[in-house]
Amino acid sequence: MQIAKNSVVTLEYVLKDDSGTIIDQSTGDEPFAFIHGVGGIIPGLESALEGKQADDELSVTIEPDQAYGQRDDALIAEVPLERFEGVEEIQEGMQFHTASEDGTPHIVTVVDISDGVVKVDGNHPLAGVTLNFDVKVLEVREATAEELDHGHVHGPGGHQH
């Protein structure tokens, strides 16, 4: 069957940036599964997969606007070190869950520490990055009513509960 809204799609992929560096990958041993058409993956990949079927392979380049968006310097903030009470040692690259004033949860990454000030970046790590996917579709099936209710895939590549 072809990939359409509410299909459960299992795939393997290799994700590279424009310099060819592998950012992420999911192989046949640990495939990635998602429900198509419900915003579970980036828009550019979702539209590239629409209508594809098992055993199809595709290479697709996705600009930031169809992936994780552009970087926004307003999301970089400087936070006094004492705000990180209870964290044993702050290091560059550490990530923390936080919430903006309207309660939207997001993840910030520590990018610099100096003189008791921690600089954190709330941009998605892949914001501003053009993504190059090599994808192989392994399986396409209808989502079950329970999966649609939960909003995620059950079984291999999904939730085991």
Residues that bind Zn ion in the complex, under the rule CB under 5 A: 150, 159
**What does 50-93 look like in DSSP terms, one character per residue?**
TT--TT-EEEEEE-GGGTT----GGGEEEEEGGGGTT-S---TT
When the beta carbons of 99 and 145 are compared against Zn ion, the nearer one is 145
Query: For residue 117, what are the β-bridge partners?
Result: 80, 114
When the beta carbons of 141 and 159 are compared against Zn ion, the nearer one is 159
When the beta carbons of 37 and 128 are compared against Zn ion, the nearer one is 37
Instruction: Tell me the closest approach of the beta carbon of residue 8 to Zn ion, in angstroms.
Output: 12
Instruction: Tell me the closest approach of the beta carbon of residue 159 to Zn ion, in angstroms.
Output: 5
Report which residue's Cβ sits closest to Zn ion. 150
**Pairing relationship of beta strands 32-35 and 7-16 according to DSSP bridges:** antiparallel
Instruction: Tell me the closest approach of the beta carbon of residue 23 to Zn ion, in angstroms.
Output: 27
When the beta carbons of 35 and 67 are compared against Zn ion, the nearer one is 35
